[in-house]
Amino acid sequence: MITRRTLLQGLGAVSLADLGVALLPASASAQGPIKLGFFGPLTGRLSALGAEARRGAEFAIREFNDAGGLGGRKVELVVYDDRGDRKEAVSVVRKLVESDQVVAFDNGSLSLTSIAAAPAVNEAKVPMVVAYANAVGAVKGQEYVFRWCSVADVQGWVMAHHAVKTKGFKTFAMFVQDEEYGRGIANGVERGIGKLGGKVAYKKLFSPGAVCFALLIGAVLTAATAGAAPSAAASAAAAETVLFMVLLRLSERLGASYHPVQ
């Protein structure tokens, strides 16, 4: 069986083809396609993320198959929509294992759905590579779950470093999306700000479905100016800091790329 430990120990000694053969169960048909499972948010408010991941997976598989596949066998991507829902993610993972008999999972969906599905993946002993779920809990304690992207805490630290060291901000308001990924980002941001000499003066959780931030921004600006008549420069700095943090979260919600170190 391929676990985190055995895979890491053997990566330097095996080819991709050898690794693919090792993943195949003894009962796998020698004639049929090799099935990889994919689940993600293909409908709903986060469907852009799932669609992008699906396109990437399909492109890689098409390229692999065009080059001859694995020992002449084609790879087939079996796709399910988890709608960004924890219970649905667990359900489709079980269906992919029991009905479709996939040999591995190419994708891990969102942080919240990956965390929910990981125990089912681990129980089935079918390896899963998480494509873009950044929360630490997506792989922690799961021998059969892997991740290639950076964790949310690290991303948050990079944001904090850019805000404090590059932009020169010192006092911050944080709006935190109240789910696994958002809290992970916030943890890295808050720790980074503190270590780098900044201060979090205001912190507020918001629902993942929220689309309007006007009241939150108003509350921050009111708190920032309470008890004193601020200068125009101070008010501008407060507004700029708030806007910076809001844009970071909005870019992530919309599936946009944000590169704070560039």
Cα distance between residue 107 and residue 87, in whole Å: 17
74 and 193 together in one domain: no
Calculate what percentage of the chain has a pLDDT beyond 90: 41
Q: What is the pLDDT of residue 98?
A: 96
Cα distance between residue 62 and residue 59, in whole Å: 5
77 and 190 together in one domain: no
Residue after which a domain boundary falls, among 113, 147, 181: 147
pLDDT at 209 over 70: yes
Q: Please, which residues have CB within 8 angstroms of residue 100's CB and are 6 or more apart in sequence?
A: 35, 37, 78
140 and 175 together in one domain: no
pLDDT at 6 over 60: no
Residue range 78-107, pLDDT digits in tens: 999 999 999 999 999 999 999 999 999 987
Mean pLDDT of the chain: 79
Out of 114-118, 169-173, 256-260, which region has the weakest mean confidence (pLDDT)? Answer: 256-260
Q: What is the pLDDT of residue 248?
A: 53
Q: Measuring CA to CA, which residue among 137, 147, 132 is closest to residue 116?
A: 137
pLDDT at 262 over 70: no
Residue 224 Cα distances to 170, 191, 197, 244, angstroms: 13, 21, 19, 16
17 and 111 together in one domain: yes
Higher-pLDDT residue of 208, 13: 208
140 and 96 together in one domain: yes
What CATH number is given to the structural domain containing 128? 3.40.50.2300
18 and 31 together in one domain: yes
Encoding tokens for residue 152? 């949310």
Residue after which a domain boundary falls, among 117, 147, 177: 147
Q: What is the pLDDT of residue 107?
A: 73
Residue range 137-190, pLDDT digits in tens: 888 888 999 987 778 888 899 999 999 999 898 888 888 888 888 888 899 999
Domain count, the chain: 2
* Domain assignment of residue 121, given as a range: 4-147
Cα distance between residue 222 and residue 204, in whole Å: 14
Q: Which helix (H) or strand (E) holds 93?
A: helix 86-98
Is residue 261 in some structural domain? no
Confidence class of residue 23 from pLDDT cuts 50, 70 and 90?
Answer: low
Residue after which a domain boundary falls, among 147, 174, 199: 147
Residue 99 Cα distances to 6, 95, 96, 138, angstroms: 27, 5, 6, 24
pLDDT at 45 over 80: yes
Our CA angle for 46, 129, 105, nearest 5°, is 80
